[in-house]
Structure 1
Amino acid sequence: MKTGIHWSPQEFIEKALEVGRPILVEDIFPVDVRRAIWCCVGRDEAQTAVHRTEVIKKWISLIGELEHKEVELKSSLPTRIAEVLKAKRLVLFKTLLEEANHPDDLVADLCKGFDLTGRLPESGVFKQKFRGR
């Protein structure tokens, strides 16, 4: 036995408009993640591999171009912080963050160190969320 509610075409459209469009899974992701997904969807495996290789080549080239700035930055840091960060490519990281229009200055935070107590500064990237004890 089948049951249902019969609607005229006009009634069906009105009911559909009341409900609205369904939420697409992609709507729950931030814009940058959606852009990355669609970038991958729009390419086959070979094109994706070529694109990734080009990006990595660009980063490797940047490492060489920025080496003198890395040395300069590390030599300006206090000894303890310089020791902790010696293997990090901070100027490259800063360049990539700027290229991505990231609002925080994470490199400055890394260079001065993070407080282990107190409130964390707002990132400007993530939604503010209160967490109780």
Structure 2
Amino acid sequence: MLSKISISILLFGFSVLSCVSSQNKSLNVETNSPAEIEAKKILGEKMMADGYLPGRIIYSDLADDCEYTIQLKDGDKDFYYVDPINLDEIFRRNNLTIWVKFNGLRRMNRCEKAAPVSITEIKNRDE
């Protein structure tokens, strides 16, 4: 027959093990296999060949700044911004990564850092 101390130790051990296993599940660590990485690379090359540019939606609540801009990469280190005048509500999320096609507009800028554009096509991009 087990003593009260032994039962307490067993219950404590089970509770610790259950906490550890649930913590491992909640970490939700994303691991990309080499095949997944290669597939994303191929998709990116295809999208760029189709005329899409990879971008990131940037939100700002600063005065005299565009509320939403699209950050685009220019070379290895530099970024530039465009001001999408027709950005759909579903894409108005800070740091959302997208594929985008747009046409430049010949009109006055709404903010200093970004040139106005009209989006012709936009798609969500998974990273």
Structure 1 length normalisation: TM-score?
A: 0.32
Query: Which structure has the highest helix share of the two?
Result: 1
Structure 2 length normalisation: TM-score?
A: 0.33
Query: Which structure has the highest strand share of the two?
Result: 2
